[in-house]
Structure formats: C-alpha cells, structure tokens
Amino acid sequence: MTRLDSFLEYAESHRVTVCVIAGVMVALIAWVDFLLPTASMGFLYLFPILISAAALNGFQIIVLAGLCSVLREAFDPLEWSAGASGRILATLAGFTMTGFFVVQLNQRRRQLKAHLDQLEIEVRRRQDAESQVRTLIETSPLAILTLDSSGHVLLANESAREVLDFTEASLRGTDVTPYLPILPRMLQSQHSAGNMRTNVECNARRRSGEVFLAHVWFSTYRTSSGPGLAAVIWDASENLRDREGAGLDSMLATSRVLVGALSHEIRNLASAAASSYGALGMLEGTADNKQYEALGSLIHALERIATSGLHLASQRESAVTDLGTLLDETRIVIEPLLRDADIDVVWELNDGLPLVQADHHSLLQVFVNLARNIKCVLEPCERRHLRITAGLESDVVVVRFYDSGPGVAHPEELFKPFQPGAHSAGLGLYISRAILRSHGGGLRYEPQPSGSCFAVELWPEESGIQSDAESSASSSRVAGR
C-alpha cells in the first residue's frame, strides 16, 4: 500500500480530524496571503482541498472550493475589477475539479482494494480447496490417475503406485498402456472429444506382471493440448474371489437341499416299490425268477441312493442371518427388476427384526425367486402391485409377499416339481421350500380374496429349534409336508 493509499484510507476513517486540519490550513494560507499583499498565495488553497476531499461529499467540496476562491480573490495583489467574478468562477471550477479528482481517485482506490481483497479470498479458498483435494487424493484407498492425451501419467496417488507395483519407482510420465490398456483406447476413441463418464471392469497388469481384475471409473476432459482422462481404479480381485467362493458355497448348500428333497422322493418310491416287491414274492414261482431278482436289486439300489442323499443333505453347518440386512439386499436386487416392469412395491417391515436360522445366500435366492415369479404373473395384469411385510408372529418370523395378480387356480399343485407351463424347469418353488425346510422353516401359499400371498416362515436364532440332532430329522422331512 502506497503512502497516498494510506492517507486516503486515514482521511476516510477520520473525517472530522481531516476537516479540522484542512480548515486550519485555509486559515493559515489566508493569513499569510493577507500579510504578503504583494505575493500571490492563491495556489496554496489547493492543498487543503486535496487533503479534505477524501473526507467530504460533493456539495461540501463545492462549498470549500467556493470559500477558497473568494479568499484567493480577496487577497490577490490585483485590484477588484469587472473580471473578478470571472476569475472567481474559474478558480471555483479548478478547485472543485481538483476535489472531485481526489474523490474519484479515492473511489477507485476503494474499488481496487475491494477487488484485491476478493481476489485474495478466492486465492485462499482455491488454495484450501486444492489442499483438501490433494489430501483426499493422496489418502484415498482407491487408486487415482490422470493421463495426458498420449496416455502418459500426469498424476498418481500412493494407492495407484501400490496397485500398479510402483512403490519404489515414479509413476509420473509412465505410459499406462502395458498396465491398463483400456484407458489409452478410451482416450483415442471418438467419444473422448466430449466429456465422457463411465465405468468398466477389465483385466489389468502390475509392473511385476501379475494380472488382476480392475473396476475403473473414468471421465475424459478437454485441455489446450488435447483430451485428458481421470481414472479411479479399484482392485476387485479379492472381491471376485469372495464372490465366487460365496457362490460356490451357496450352490453346494442348494445342491445338498435339492439332493435331500429328491432322495426323500426316491425313498418314498422305493418304499412303495418294496411293498409291491414283497407282495409279489408271496406268489408261487416268483422267487427264482431272474426279472424278479433284478427288480429287487433295483429297489435296494434306490434305497441306498436315497439313504446316501439324505445323509449328504444332513451334513450342513447351522447358519444365522440378519434378516433386516438380508431384506435390504433383497430390495437392492429386486426393485430395479420390478420397476422396469412397472410394478409398484411397498415394504412394511417391523423394526428390530431378529436374527433367523437360515443361510444368507440361500434365503436371498428364495426371496429373489418369489419376486421373479410374481413379476412374471403381474406383467400381463393391468394393476401391478406388490406388498412385502415382515414381522414376528407367535415366536416365528413371517415374511409375506402379497401381489395383485389373478391368484392361483390349483394351490395344491404349487410346490410339486416339474410343473407343466412353469418357467425354467418348474423347480423354483419346490427348491425354495426345500431350502427353508432344511433350516426348520417353511414356505406356504395363503389364499386371498384377490391376488396371492406367499408366506416365508423362519425361526429366530434365539429359539434354538435347530440342533445337530434335529438337523437330520429336518432333512428327512424336506418334501414330506
């Protein structure tokens, strides 16, 4: 800040003091001009005007300029003449313009100061924002990269260096093509001319040569030197392994349930065949019949298969599931599917749903299968509505799926396998009920005045209904209800 700026700022904040100083200066100049009648001191009146203009408004400046003009003319060595009024007007105009010049100068100073203060605030904010962004990027667990138009790295955080195995080398300036070839291809595509934002799943390679699965979120942008790209990268290899492992466990659990259900059916058939076989043995001449012996061997083989299947189905670990969390996951999975079919979904879930005895992934499959069946039923309907409720009823947790469909004409046929006209193999409801019964629960159809209702029954974890000994008994009841 210059001395002039300092003075103008002082004059603006100490108006009375400045005005008093200016008045004293006017009086001193007039007194000196009076004492020296032969010398012209009129130009000295400019100084009090210059000093006080920063503290006065326009009218006050004109009054002060008029006073100084009159005093200058009164003590001028020239005699009063006919042109005195003209000189006073000329002097008044000069003094007034001088004062207004100072006013404009002070106004410009204030505007410039306000502009500089705003710029300083914006610079400080930008620096703070850049610092926060830099901190966010450097501390992010996700790998973040920015690339120039040639596919070379401009910026990389610590996570990016770890993911690509550049912990002991600089990633800046490195060509990313050997590691994430999808990114340079996106930069060279015709879509990169605009701002493109999307995500992809692709194979990537570390510096050591190890291949991993990468989820990449990226966007392109324009710079003076061409297109640029910013990418956020997540190593999804562990997630893939967990997902495949969970899928395998779920498949095995479902397979055991299905094997147990089918084994139960086979055992029933074998029992019926064994009764008939025994009755045939009472007939004369059948004991030495080879076909009769072959039939007996077949029945015994079916019984052994059924016994092995039931034994396999009983070999499972007890599982506990958070029903509230599982229903949230169900909502995430089925709502987009139902929304695409213009089906309105209402959720009525009681608070504090308990833990239930069920396998998480298998129970999720049951709920998703019910939702898909309901979607197929409601698609041709004019009114498409689904209501899902969950609550505790008589020590049993019940989840109900109410739909506005036409209902079920033959509910007694619902849970039989290989239903004619059913979607896929017609095993969805059969397997769903078998899964629930393997944990002591159940699936039933409840007739409604209009529409349909499927009720899923689950035992709370604290009830302890499923013990190791009861597990085998439950498996034997898989399809018997």
Question: Left, alpha or beta for 199 (phi > 0: left; psi -120 to 50: alpha)?
Answer: beta
Non-local CB neighbours of 443 within 8 Å, separated by 6+ positions: 366, 415, 429, 432, 433, 436, 454, 455, 456, 457
CA 24 remoteness from chain centre: 72
- Residues 414 and 270: their CA atoms lie apart, in Å, by 24
- Residues 296 and 161: their CA atoms lie apart, in Å, by 70
Assigned token pair, 271:
């029992």
Exposed e or buried b per residue across 338-366, where buried means at least 16 C-beta atoms within 10 angstroms of its C-beta: beeeebebeeebeeebbbbbbbbbbbbbb
Q: How far is CA 466 from CA 103, 359, 360, 461, in A?
A: 93, 13, 16, 9
Domain ranges of the chain: 3-116, 143-235, 245-314, 320-465
Non-local CB neighbours of 267 within 8 Å, separated by 6+ positions: 302, 303, 306, 307, 310
Least confident of 159-163, 210-214, 388-392, 423-427: 423-427
Least confident of 151-155, 212-216, 309-313: 309-313
Write the DSSP symbol of residue 381: -
Q: What is the pLDDT of residue 314?
A: 56
- Residues 29 and 73: their CA atoms lie apart, in Å, by 13
Which residues are paired to 216 by β-bridges?
200, 233
Q: What is the pLDDT of residue 345?
A: 93
**Domain at 143-235: CATH architecture:** 2-Layer Sandwich (3.30)
Helix/strand/coil (H, E, C) string of 318-361?
A: CCEEEHHHHHHHHHHHHHHHHHHCCCEEEEEECCCCCEEECCHH
Q: What is the dihedral of CA 397, 401, 407, 412, to 10 degrees?
A: -40
H or E segment at 454?
strand 452-458
pLDDT at 284 over 60: no
Q: What is the pLDDT of residue 143?
A: 92
Q: What is the pLDDT of residue 467?
A: 40
H or E segment at 389?
strand 385-393
From 317, 457, 446, select the one nearest 392 (Cα to Cα): 457
Polymer length of the chain: 481
CB-neighbour burial class of residue 270 (10 A; exposed 0-12, middle 13-18, buried 19+): buried
Q: What is the pLDDT of residue 82?
A: 52
Q: What is the pLDDT of residue 359?
A: 84
Cβ atoms within 10 Å of 420's Cβ, excluding its own: 6
- Residues 259 and 476: their CA atoms lie apart, in Å, by 11
The pLDDT of 80-84, averaged and rounded, is 58
Cβ atoms within 10 Å of 281's Cβ, excluding its own: 12
pLDDT at 166 over 70: yes
- Residues 273 and 267: their CA atoms lie apart, in Å, by 10
Give percent above pLDDT 90 in the chain. Answer: 23
pLDDT tens figures, 468-480: 333 433 433 333 3
Q: pLDDT band at residue 455, thresholds of 50, 70 and 90?
A: very high
**Domain at 320-465: CATH architecture:** 2-Layer Sandwich (3.30)
H or E segment at 229?
strand 226-235
Place of tokens 């309907």: 381
- Residues 436 and 433: their CA atoms lie apart, in Å, by 5
pLDDT tens figures, 348-366: 998 888 899 988 888 998 9
Q: What is the pLDDT of residue 344?
A: 93
Q: What is the pLDDT of residue 306?
A: 61
Contacts of residues 469-475 at CB distance under 8 Å and 24 or more positions apart, as own/partner, are 470/440, 471/314, 471/316, 471/318, 472/310, 472/314, 474/437, 474/438, 474/439, 474/440, 475/260, 475/310, 475/313, 475/314, 475/438
Q: pLDDT band at residue 34, thresholds of 50, 70 and 90?
A: confident
- Residues 338 and 345: their CA atoms lie apart, in Å, by 8
